[in-house]
Amino acid sequence: MSAYRKLLQHIQAKDANGDLRLILVYQSFDEIDMPHGVSIRPSSIYFETADHQEVNWLNPQQFEIEATGEILNRVPSSPEE
């Protein structure tokens, strides 16, 4: 388990029912003991739904919700105004 995590971005995706889901992209960080103290280093990037189900990244275009097996297709976010 990582010591810290940072939200990098969120992605809108459609599930098999056509409903939009929000995917949260996190960078996790680990504490590394160093002679001069503790250092924090990035470890892995992971994905969750807004209701905290872990997402397994299949490829840049698809997501699989491990808890339900739903396949989500990545949807480009609308341009900011």
**Mean pLDDT in consecutive groups of 10 residues from the start of the chain, 81 residues:** 77 72 84 85 84 66 51 50 42
Q: Do the domain assignments include residue 81? A: no
d(CA 69, CA 81): 35
Q: Do the domain assignments include residue 80? A: no
Give the domain extent around 14. Answer: 4-74
Which tokens sit at 50? 């807004």
Q: Residue 35: what pLDDT?
A: 86
Q: Residue 60: what pLDDT?
A: 46
| Overall domain count for the chain | 1
Q: Residue 67: what pLDDT?
A: 46
Q: Do the domain assignments include residue 20? A: yes
d(CA 35, CA 17): 53
Q: Residue 12: what pLDDT?
A: 77
Q: Do the domain assignments include residue 79? A: no
Q: Residue 72: what pLDDT?
A: 54
